[in-house]
Amino acid sequence: MEGFGANSVEELDVGDLESAGLEPSEALHFYQELQVALQRAGFGKLESIWRLVSQSLLTPRHPHTLHQLMYYSIYKNWDELQCGPPPYWFPSLEFARSTSIGQLLKARGNELLGNKVYVDPIASFTNFYKFSVQHPEIFWSIAFENLSLHFSVEPKQMVDSSDSSRPAGKWLPGAVLNVAHCCLLPKPNIGKTDDSIAIIWRDEGGDDLPPSTMKLSELRHHVSRVAFSLQAAGFQRGDRIAIDMPMHIHAVIIYLAIILAGCVVVSIADSFVSSEIAARLAISKAKGIFTQDVIVRSGKTIPLYSRVLGAKPPKAVVLPSDGKSVRVPIRNQDVSWEEFLANGNGRNRSGDEFPAVQLPVEAWTNILFSSGTTAEPKAIPWNQTTPMRCAADSWAHSDLQAGDIYCWPTNLGWMMGPYLISACLLSGATMALYNGSPLGRSFGRFVQDARVTILGTVPSMVKTWKKVNCMDSLDWSSIRSFGTTGEASSIDDDLWLSARAWYKPILESCGGTELGSAFLHGSLLQPQAFAAFSTPSLTTAFVLLDDSGRPYPDDQPCSGEIALFPKLLGASYTLLNADHHKVYFEGMPVINGIQLRRHGDVFERTAGGFYRAKGRADDTMNLGGIKVSSVEIERVCNTAHNSVLETAAIAMPQGKGGGPDNLIVAAVLKGALPPGENHPEMLKRIFSKALHDNLNPLFKVHAVVLLPEFPRTASNKIMRRVLRAQMPRSKL
């Protein structure tokens, strides 16, 4: 395995440990303990050595250079081609049996899989995955028993697959409920009571104050008050109402109240400019919008209401960012948050709970949008099965349950915002919200003080934490797992992150807004490798396609575009402004009479059954007749020189004369470089050599362009098409 340093772990000496940041006396002690670990594990038994070193020797207080030295030297001679990526976390049988799926298999493994098949939760997990694909109706019925679901009319069956126009199936036909109401009701048999803490939060600047909390009964009261006010304002069942603000406690209350009142949330990211807000309001035909005056981040005031006004919105309800009074003038037709609530008090004088509007299961709850980097963003409606899928996935894969405190810094304009609300409130877990920038130490303090047990991230966020070392010396021992999604992860960044919490697992997930869930996941019942997925999501089946559109064998290491079997709970079946069939199904292969569903991501399946993201199919480039993903090139370039923070690889056609595409690498640096050097030319040489040595000797970098930052979507994905359009013609 390529990596940090030249020596294997058996070849290290005390000087290597000093070079990794230890004082001489500490280096000597660590070296002696390391020799004991090597003898206990057995020389050459790399996984056993890493388990002992990561669990017994390394701690969060050690410098990252020491963690690097240990990981890369231990796995230096690991044969990744034959064995797949090296694992860093291993579930014990005792731990596996304590998880939600482990408890299920312990109780019913023989019944579900058969006496001759079931062994234990770890050994039998792959067979259980296959069972869930073959019998999704059984799996979902079990999952729903562990969620806070309350039907006013029970479903006739789990899924109706008779309608050929609905390849995902019609799930829970005949069912009537209000999923927001389900979020707000207690369910004691899963540990969810009125006294359960539903939300824990902190506002930026409150580091020295204990986090605030709200019980489930209190949340229900506040949501009811907003729902009565929506009714008083004239909104009716089915109306679409936008939310454009940070994801703080008021945003969550408003989100739930809109659905409780039988209306539909239109999710808009608070980072959008006026034109992007206007497009989403127009596509969704929103009749109102909740926003706030300004956003305060790291002491800076960022206008928000003025951007919303630039979109010429319908009636707006404007919240004060400081919780006191709106600090900007508002239009005559708009109302302040205080006035909005006061107008609804007449309907809620007795403090009664709002009578939830009961809706068919296929009624829409939320309209979200794809990134929209090249054209009009696709408007994707979620119905009431999608929040169920969000919660069930978290229960099954993240072991989310009552007593957990789940934090994922996100926004309602990205699917992870609604996902977090549903996952927490339908499972009985506590939602942790930080109203401020997640990029600094104050966020880390909140994670520490709130005793977060599951922390979600995006890779670029982790990269920033690591770069500025802002989480040093914080106590993250309460964390039992991390989650990550949104972009390809970095092995070294994940090494740094996992080490902050005593090497807890980082569960990768990849899915899509149109699915409301993930199709690839990490699992607590399997060993985990950095920057890799260990399993398809339960009930989800897919194939990887070769260049001719034919599926590779399921057990063969390969790289190809992923194609999903379409029978998926919670997945979209319509779009507001595009032909759903054309976008997701047209031209896709048919297997056993089933047309596959397009997603657009390319994945590598490795030896050992892991998966790695290789970027979008439309980010695949052809360099000298060799197809390669931009992610593969970026993975090499990101670690080629210590001045590089991140890179983005794009292929650009040559001038009018034609010819093969040129490889252009855009780079963001960690800081200013010394004067006097032609830094783009220097990095061009370095990147070319790194690609030659680590990826393909035929790949050559045509030019390097230095940028202060990359253009990104609201969900933090690099917009490579925008980079191509911005690229100076002189570089081609």
DSSP letter for each residue of 578-601: S-HHHHHTTT--EETTEEPEEEEE
Copy the structure tokens of residue 302: 């960022």
* Average pLDDT over every residue of 333-355: 86
* Average pLDDT over every residue of 340-362: 86
Contact 414, 714 (CB under 8 A): yes
Contact 558, 546 (CB under 8 A): yes
Contact 524, 543 (CB under 8 A): no
Lowest mean pLDDT among 370-384, 536-550, 700-714: 370-384
* Average pLDDT over every residue of 310-331: 95
pLDDT tens per residue across span 107-159 = 999 999 999 999 999 999 999 999 999 999 999 999 999 999 999 999 999 99
CA angle 386, 388, 392 (to 5 degrees): 120
What are the φ/ψ torsions at residue 158 (nearest 5 degrees)? -75, -45
Contact 262, 357 (CB under 8 A): yes
Copy the structure tokens of residue 121: 């939760």
What is the structure's pLDDT at 452?
A: 98
Instruction: Answer whether residue 276 shows pLDDT above 90.
Output: no
Instruction: Answer whether residue 724 shows pLDDT above 90.
Output: no
What is the structure's pLDDT at 721?
A: 73
What is the structure's pLDDT at 658?
A: 47
Instruction: Answer whether residue 234 shows pLDDT above 90.
Output: yes
Cβ-proximal residues to 676 (8 Å cutoff; 6+ apart), any chain: none
Contact 242, 269 (CB under 8 A): no
What is the structure's pLDDT at 235?
A: 97
Instruction: Answer whether residue 617 shows pLDDT above 90.
Output: no
The beta strands (E) that lie in 86-186 are given as 87-89, 159-160, 170-171, 176-177
Lowest mean pLDDT among 85-94, 488-497, 610-619: 610-619
Share of the chain above pLDDT 70, in %: 95
* Average pLDDT over every residue of 8-37: 97
Banded pLDDT at 656 (limits 50, 70, 90): very low
Banded pLDDT at 165 (limits 50, 70, 90): confident
d(CA 559, CA 544): 7
CATH superfamily membership of 171-602: ANL, N-terminal domain (3.40.50.12780)
d(CA 403, CA 451): 11
Contact 296, 302 (CB under 8 A): yes
What secondary structure, in 3-state letters, does 164-177 show?
CCCCCCEECCCCEE
Tell me the pLDDT of the chain averaged across its residues: 92
**How many Cα neighbours within 13 Å face the side chain of 512?**
21
Q: In this structure, what DSSP letter does residue 440 have?
A: S
> Which residue from 389, 391, 392, 372 is spatially nearest to 380, judged by alpha carbons?
372
Contact 96, 122 (CB under 8 A): yes
* Average pLDDT over every residue of 371-387: 81
What is the structure's pLDDT at 653?
A: 73
What is the structure's pLDDT at 381?
A: 98
> Which residue from 700, 720, 703, 727 is spatially nearest to 624, judged by alpha carbons?
700
> Which residue from 658, 641, 646, 626 is spatially nearest to 720, judged by alpha carbons?
646
Instruction: Answer whether residue 540 shows pLDDT above 70.
Output: yes
d(CA 689, CA 676): 22
d(CA 410, CA 407): 9
What is the structure's pLDDT at 17?
A: 98
Share of the chain above pLDDT 90, in %: 81
Q: How far from 513 is each of 203, 220, 225, 418, 607, CA to CA, in Å?
A: 28, 27, 30, 10, 29
pLDDT tens per residue across span 30-52 = 999 999 999 999 888 999 999 99
Please check whether the domain covering 619-726 is classified as CATH 3.60.20.30.
no
DSSP per residue, 690-730: HHHHHT-TT--EEEEEE-SS--B-TT--B-HHHHHHHS-GG
What is the structure's pLDDT at 370?
A: 83
Q: Is 605 helix (H, G, I), strand (E, B) or coil?
A: strand
CA angle 559, 457, 564 (to 5 degrees): 35
Copy the structure tokens of residue 84: 């797949």
- Integer-rounded Cα radius of gyration of the chain: 26
Residue 627 CB burial class (10 angstroms; 0-12, 13-18, ≥19): exposed
pLDDT tens per residue across span 552-599 = 999 899 999 999 999 999 999 999 999 999 999 999 999 999 999 999
